[in-house]
Amino acid sequence: MKNTFFILCAFLMSALIQAKEIKYATLNTKQESAIHTIPFSFFKVEDMPQRFMDSAINYKYNITSQQYDLSIKYVYRYNAQGNKTDEIQMSYNVILSKWDTVYKYVNIYDASGKILSNQIFYDSIPLQKSEYFYEGELVSYMIYSVWNVDASSWDYRKKGESEYDESARVKTYTDYTWDTTSASWLATSRDEYLYYKLNWFSNLTRSDWDAKSRSWVFNSKVDVSFDNNDNRNIEILSDWDTLHSRWDSHLKYDFTFNSNNDETSKTMYVWNSILGWQPDYKTEIQYFPNTRYTSSQSGYEWNGKLNQWDPLYKIEITNMENPDYEGISYNWSKETASWVPDFKYDLYFSELGTGLKDDVFSLKSCYPNPVKDRLYLYNAEGVDTVELVDTYGNILNKSVINGSIDVTGLQAGLYYVRWESSYSQSISKFVKQ
């Protein structure tokens, strides 16, 4: 049976989002998994053994030195069921030459693997928490709370309540806010879903609760159409015009797909009352030949004066061996009419079986990779032995000093770092330049 994994490059797209103005946002369908980190572009992988992302390292391009500097790092831990238990976001401290933990996301599951809660910490200080409550196998409602530093306790903020149809699909999702005066939950908005097939919704309508009339009032909606291969090919976003009691469409997305039904483009149009639908923004996705591996993604904005698409950014996968994924993002410079490097990112994975101790899932990694002189080790705490091994299995005698190894004398090529404790073993690979 084929497994499709969506490998998320949060650090990269987060940086792109920060650098660009986000003009529009679509409605949150709440149809995906309960846990989200940061939304961004994905790399689609088919027919792969089960793999777990160990780490993701983001490098910022330094125009002065024309090199990539360490910037952001994500590390991940999993339990024996393969559920992600920890996600740690770190920022590189240039002065101290070390990674500083900024945010930590902690997920808690029950014995069957259902998510019970997830918490976010900032430098070990709790920030917010979401708790999930079930009826059978389905989430009945969730409660979102924030940490009150003065009272050293959690304060309610929001609640989300789901109702399902006979196919266990979300039929309505209602948002509530906590009212401290009445110490009760007050309804604020409601999403209603109509479905095309399976879990694909064809219509999502959002309404707001009007306290005066004590009724639900339309707010916005999304209408989705599908092609003959069940790919969504058009999305139209509309707002409710209260004055004229009608829906006014304002955004449209057109999608195209290849013969594998993989998305190849997404074009956004903005409604103009005189000219009709006008192009605004477009992304294009390309794949490596004869595979379903993404090779690049490009973004464009519409130039109405010249009646053409102007490039904005592109992301290219440059390596799929070591690290497991390596990509570089570029921004288009209008001044020089050329691509300017922006970020480089590395993704590392493990192919792990079942029945392994949790320690195996905690990250053991090394950087930079490739390396010229000194290799730095991450998460070596509790490890009895760290060994350098070449591709022939020979153990190289190298001392670990202050969490790093001098590899200046090694010949160029592929090597491994083997981490061993009394009950587990992990291996990281790196390239010596």
pLDDT in tens, 243-301: 999 999 999 999 999 998 899 999 999 999 999 999 999 999 998 888 777 889 999 99
User: How confident is residue 421, by pLDDT bands cut at 50, 70 and 90?
Assistant: low
The residue whose two tokens read 């369908």 is 29
Q: Are 356 and 362 in contact (CB under 8 A)?
A: no
Q: Looking at residue 82, what is its pLDDT?
A: 78
Q: Looking at residue 413, what is its pLDDT?
A: 83
Q: Are residues 78 and 138 in the same domain?
A: yes
State pLDDT tens for residues 186-219. 999 999 999 998 778 899 999 999 999 999 999 9
Query: In the predicted model, is pLDDT for residue 18 greater than 70?
Result: no
Q: Are residues 246 and 125 in the same domain?
A: yes
Query: In the predicted model, is pLDDT for residue 350 greater than 80?
Result: no
Residues 204, 195: Cα–Cα separation, whole Å: 9
Q: Are residues 327 and 429 in the same domain?
A: no
Q: Looking at residue 322, what is its pLDDT?
A: 60
Residues sharing a CB contact under 8 Å with residue 243, sequence separation 6 or more, in sequence order: none
Q: What is the pTM of this model?
A: 0.70
Q: Are residues 343 and 399 in the same domain?
A: no
Q: Are residues 284 and 414 in the same domain?
A: no
Domain extent for 428 = 370-433
Q: How many residues does the chain have?
A: 433
Could you give the 3-state DSSP secondary structure of residue 211? Answer: coil
Residues 281, 277: Cα–Cα separation, whole Å: 12
Q: Looking at residue 415, what is its pLDDT?
A: 81
Most confident region among 92-96, 351-355, 401-405, 416-420 by mean pLDDT: 92-96
Total count of domains within the chain: 2
Tokens of 358: 């949790």
Q: Are residues 406 and 359 in the same domain?
A: no
Q: Looking at residue 206, what is its pLDDT?
A: 97
The CATH number of residue 128's host domain is 2.40.128.720
Find the mean pLDDT for residues 47-76.
Answer: 82
Pairing of β 404-406 and β 98-109: unpaired
Q: Are residues 378 and 345 in the same domain?
A: no
User: How confident is residue 184, by pLDDT bands cut at 50, 70 and 90?
Assistant: very high
Q: Are residues 427 and 326 in the same domain?
A: no
Given 345, 363, 381, which residue is the final one in a domain? 363
Residues 178, 181: Cα–Cα separation, whole Å: 9
The CATH number of residue 421's host domain is 2.60.40.10
Q: Are residues 189 and 56 in the same domain?
A: yes
Given 321, 347, 363, which residue is the final one in a domain? 363
Q: Are residues 187 and 220 in the same domain?
A: yes
Share of the chain above pLDDT 90, in %: 51
DSSP designation for 331: E
Question: How does 382-414 read in b/e, with b if 16+ C-beta sit within 10 Å?
Answer: ebeebebeeeeeeeeebebeeebbebeebeeee
Residues 42, 317: Cα–Cα separation, whole Å: 12
Q: Are residues 44 and 124 in the same domain?
A: yes
Given 341, 363, 385, which residue is the final one in a domain? 363
Average pLDDT of the chain to the nearest whole number: 80
State pLDDT tens for residues 364-375. 566 777 888 888
Tokens of 13: 């797209």
Q: Are residues 359 and 375 in the same domain?
A: no
Q: Looking at residue 200, what is its pLDDT?
A: 85
> Which has more confidence, 51 or 116?
116
